[in-house]
């Protein structure tokens, strides 16, 4: 049985009891390794975004966010899985759970800024690279997108 078989998934908003755990995970997995401080983790559109967390016993083990940009689509961002659970399928479960919710809400386009090492992860989930490589938060990125239900 995978180590994450018993995790629960929840869509939360800032202020929820799990939100501080989400911010802590985002900082540890996405920002601290790049030399950023905890105050650099929040986005201006935090309150307007969907926050999906994977949690167990009050601990946030994974998360992914989605910022709606119009009635049909938006940006997936802040995709993170706790270091000790990476490579065991939890990230894929988070993306699939988010996509199912987005379809329910009438969205059909998702785009994202993928860190170069994460490109194969998103490709496995049906996302395609477009445009040229670029640098963001000091590291190489590619733009990727997917049409849901295609
Ligand atoms: C990237 C990340 C979210 C992926 O989550 P994960 O739980 O480790 O990935 P999964 O185990 O669900 O992988 C799903 C599939 O993608 C593949 N995959 C994952 N990372 C990969 C990589 N770097 N290279 C090639 N394949 C990869 C897995 O092998 C798996 O393939 P399968 O369907 O054949 O089994 C996670 O590793 C992470 O948090 N990394 C650090 C932060 C980060 O880079 N976030 C993304 C920012 S854009």
83 CA distance to ligand 1 centroid (A)? 11
Backbone dihedral angles phi then psi of residue 89, each to the nearest 5 degrees: 100, -5
pLDDT band at 1 (very low <50, low <70, confident <90, very high): low
For a mutational test of ligand 1's pocket, the pick from 28, 65, 87, 114, i.e. the residue with the most ligand atoms closer than 8 A to its C-beta, is 87
Coil, strand or helix at 18? coil
What are 111-137's pLDDT values in tens digits?
999 999 999 999 999 999 999 999 999
- In which residue are the tokens 């329910």 written? 104
What is the residue with the minimal CA distance to atom 29 of ligand 1? 87
Nearest CA to ligand 1 atom 7: 91
| Span 26-43, pLDDT tens digits | 999 999 999 999 888 889
Separation of alpha carbons 98 and 78, rounded Å: 13
Specify the DSSP element, H or E, that contains 96: helix 90-104
Q: Which of 40 and 146 is assigned the larger pLDDT?
A: 146
Q: What is the mean predicted confidence (pLDDT) over 85-108? A: 98
CA of 86 to the centre of ligand 1 (A): 7
Say how many Å lie between the CA of residue 147 and the centre of ligand 1: 20
Of all protein residues, the one whose alpha carbon is nearest to atom 15 of ligand 1 is 121
Q: Running DSSP on this structure, what letter comes out for residue 116?
A: G
Instruction: Let me know how long the chain is.
Output: 150
Distance 104 CA to ligand 1 centre (A): 25
* pLDDT at residue 128, as a whole number: 98
Burial of 110 per CB tally in 10 Å (0-12, 13-18, 19+): buried
Name which CATH class applies to 8-147.
Answer: alpha beta
Sign of CA dihedral 135, 120, 106, 130: positive
Q: Where are the domains of the chain?
A: 8-147
Q: What is the pLDDT of residues 48-75, one digit of tens each?
A: 999 999 999 999 999 999 999 999 999 9
Question: What is the 3-state composition of the chain as percent helix, strand, coil, each rounded to the nearest 5?
Answer: 30, 35, 30
What's residue 39's pLDDT? Answer: 85
């Amino acid at each position: 049985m995978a180590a994450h078989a018993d995790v629960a998934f929840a869509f939360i908003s800032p202020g929820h009891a799990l939100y501080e755990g989400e911010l802590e995970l985002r900082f540890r997995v996405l920002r601290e390794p790049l030399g950023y401080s905890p105050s650099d983790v929040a986005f201006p559109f935090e309150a307007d975004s969907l926050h999906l967390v994977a949690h167990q016993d009050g601990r946030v083990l994974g998360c992914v966010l989605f910022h709606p940009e119009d009635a049909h689509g938006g940006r997936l961002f802040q995709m993170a899985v706790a270091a000790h659970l990476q490579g065991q399928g939890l990230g894929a479960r988070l993306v699939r759970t988010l996509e199912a919710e987005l379809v329910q809400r009438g969205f059909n386009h998702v785009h994202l800024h993928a860190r170069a090492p994460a490109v194969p992860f998103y490709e496995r989930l049906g996302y395609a690279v477009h445009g040229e490589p670029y640098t963001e938060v000091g590291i190489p990125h590619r733009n990727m997108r997917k049409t849901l239900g295609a």
